Structure 1
Amino acid sequence: MIYLPLLISITEVIIVTVPVLLTVAFVTVAERKTMASMQRRLGPNIVGYYGLMQAFADALKLLLKEYVSPTQANLVLFFLGPVITLIFSLLGFSVIPYGPGLAIWDFDLGILYMLAVSSLSTYGILLAGWSANSKYAFLGSLRSTAQLISYELILSSAILLVVLLSGSLSLTVNTEAQKAIWYIVPLLPIFIIFFIGSIAETNRAPFDLAEAAVIFVFFFLAEYASIVLICILTSILFLAGYLLNFTFIVSFIKETEPYLYAILVDSKHETILSDPIIEGMVYGLTLGLKTCIMIFVFIWARASFPRIRYDQLMSFCWTILLPLVIAFIILLPCVLFSFEIISSNIHLL
């Protein structure tokens, strides 16, 4: 009986981690198919139905490739760096609420935890560049680290504005606070800034300097895991996460599809969503759909913009995005105070 809580915890972690890794695999296929469609190509279509097994073929190829490492490299740190990046990319999923009460760890400081985990993953890139014992790899890792640290400031500042509206650092509270209106509506400029910072933070084109510096399979996996995580976080902070206006949807179905409405609603006027299992599935599908839309936009951005120079990247962060975020940090509290709608939690602070 002593080991029962430990067994339950391990089971919960496996239930979340395995679908995440499968999602990462299929996001790579989705990206290749989407970019192929945008560029009038076919993309993967041989391995498996519609090319769906291409991700597993790529994984097998990477596992069977010959091991190559610099002769003077610190082998322990050389392999530890990419592993650190991947581990911290996966740790962020532990506080994601997939529904009301559906999280491995419903942490009150979940947003702070996410920022801390994303900051620690930067050390993996720095370690990999330094341990190669090559000045070119080290310079590349320094540039990538500077990029990540710079854009973390943009992300944390944008998240601060969301916290000012919800009054909490809990991801669940931020989701439930958007029942009246999604935060993307009043904070549309902040959403755009947050999205740009997310692309840079996940090393995506046109900000993929880390991939241009060092190429490891763990960095490849960590990149796509970070994409899924940051898209889920964007959905929670700005698109109400797992929330959906079911009353409006049922009313719309009642007016347009009466036969489908008869299936959804029984004689007691209770929808099938009254079943807790179906309700949990709908919450998960809602969050998944919003996340898929954000992942598509990430792929769309990669297919549309070329990689920019390092000086342009840093200049855009410090001279354009940062002043805009600081201006909103000053403006938003003034607006909230003028209309007396500052959260009670912030009043207590």
Structure 2
Amino acid sequence: MSIALSITKTIHDWLFGIMPETTASIVEMILIALVYLTVFAVAGLFLVLMERRVAAWFQLRIGPNRVGFQGLLQTMADALKLVSKELTGTDRADKFLYNLAPYFVIISALMALGLIPFTKDFQAFDINIGIFFLIAISSIGVIGILLGGWASNNKFALIGAMRSGVQTISYELSVGLSLLTMILLTGSLQLSEIVEVQKSGWLIVQGHVPAIIAFMIFMIAGTAETNRAPFDMVEAESELGAGFHTEYSGMKFAYFFLAEFINMFLIAAIATTVFFGAWLSPFGITESIPWLGLFWFLSKTLVLVFLMMWFRWTFPRLRVDQLLTLEWKYLLPMNLVNILIMALIVWQKLTIQI
């Protein structure tokens, strides 16, 4: 039994030994939520620091180097500053929707994080429609952006929110179709089963050329769906100030800011799970050494996060028409043809087996 499983079993037995069953179940859920909130916060702070380091490296700058050793506490100082800042807004804003909007964004990201299989035993919510659930939950975040932009009663925020709706709806098609290509290959929507299939080889290898094309489309569309450069038309600073969160400050602004980085981590984590075997090592020794699976998962995920940051600091921002042309004229037709090719490959395999 792994260390993580033995710890969770000990806590489970202890709680059910001192409390009624219903109370113990609620306490367990609260503890799991606290663990994921901690992961959420730590990952967000680390990714912000990583972004600033990568940006400095690409631009031949030093980057954060004052607060803490080598600037490691810089994002912590920024977080404390945001917590202590006054929450401002506009008099004509729709107060209820204005205050509600950040929670849509942050909660959808947190719910999606619960489905990610960090290791064989470290997954909060493993259901048989995992991929479908992830796509559905990630779609809720755009509601927060639309509400925030509209409720702010600011024309720049409204334009950013409308752009977000167009962009997210468009690129969700490519994200979903690229994942559907791999679902055809595995025959399952459950993330744990998709990982099990990859014990004989990562899907990006098993799926041949269609899997590689699906991965490339997924990363491009995923970057666009997270509203990151070169697809950051939603918060184009040179045109819209800060876009949909122009009127937000303090922790409410931090929620939007943090959610962007967590969504980037989620896109990379889904790609790691579906294409690169999640916690499985390339050498087949993951299960023999505790926590090695977590090391492999985070290593592969952070490489993909670095790739997304590379996009940001390399390519210029697209125009709105270029953004939609890329999706509707290129990525979507490529995805449809790719699904057809993958279906033929799977049909051929089944025919040979029969």
TM-score (norm 2): 0.85
Could you tell me which residue of structure 2 aligns to residue 95 of structure 1?
A: 115
List gaps (5 residues or longer) in structure 2. 1-18, 237-242, 246-252
Counterpart contact for 2:229–2:317, Cα < 8 Å: yes
Paired with 2:172 and 2:101, the residues of 1 have a C-alpha distance of 20
Match of 1:159 in 2: 179
C-alpha change, 1:51 and 1:170, in structure 2 (3 Å) is same
1:10 to 15, 30, 34: 30
Partner Cα separation in structure 2 for residue 339 and residue 214 of structure 1? 48
Say how many residue pairs are matched. Answer: 317
Partner residue, 1:305? 315
Q: Does 1:235 pair with 2:255? A: no
Amino acid at match of 1:233: I
> What CA deviation, in whole Å up to 9, does each residue of 1:95-148 have, x standing for no partner?
111222431111111111101110111100110111112344222211111101
Partner of 1:334: 344
User: Is 1:190 the equivalent of 2:214?
Assistant: yes
Contact 2:44–2:262 at 8 Å: present in 1 too? yes
Partner secondary structure for residue 270 of structure 2: helix
SS of residue matched to 2:317 = coil
Shift of 1:204: 0.8
Alignment CA distance shift 1:341-1:132 (3 Å): farther
CA contact (8 A) 1:162 1:237 kept: yes
The runs of 5 or more residues in structure 1 that have no matched partner are 250-271, 345-349
- For 1:320, the aligned partner's letter is Y
1:253 is matched with: none
- CA deviation after TM superposition for structure 1 residue 246, in Å: 3.6
Tell me which residue corresponds to 1:65.
85
Partner-residue secondary structure (3-state), 2:350:
coil
> Equivalent of 1:46, from 66, 74, 82?
66
Distance between the aligned counterparts of 2:310 and 2:126, measured in 1?
33
2:150 corresponds to:
130
Q: Name the SS of the counterpart of 1:70 in structure 2.
A: coil
Q: Which amino acid aligns with 1:220?
A: F
Q: Counterpart in 2 of 1:244?
A: 281
RMSD: 1.9
**1:76–1:341: structure 2 CA closer, same or farther, 3 Å change rule?**
farther
| 1:325/1:103 CA distance change after superposition, 3 Å | same
C-alpha separation in 2, matches of 1:310 and 1:80:
28
Confirm whether residue 217 of structure 1 aligns to residue 227 of structure 2. no
Q: Deviations over 1:144-185 (max 9, x none)?
A: 111011101100000101100110000111111112221223
Question: How many angstroms does 1:195 deviate by?
Answer: 0.4
**Residue 165 of structure 1 contacts residue 343 of structure 1 at CA under 8 Å; is this kept in 2?**
no
Per-residue CA deviation, residues 40-64 of structure 1 (Å, 9 max, x unaligned), is 1000000010111011111122223
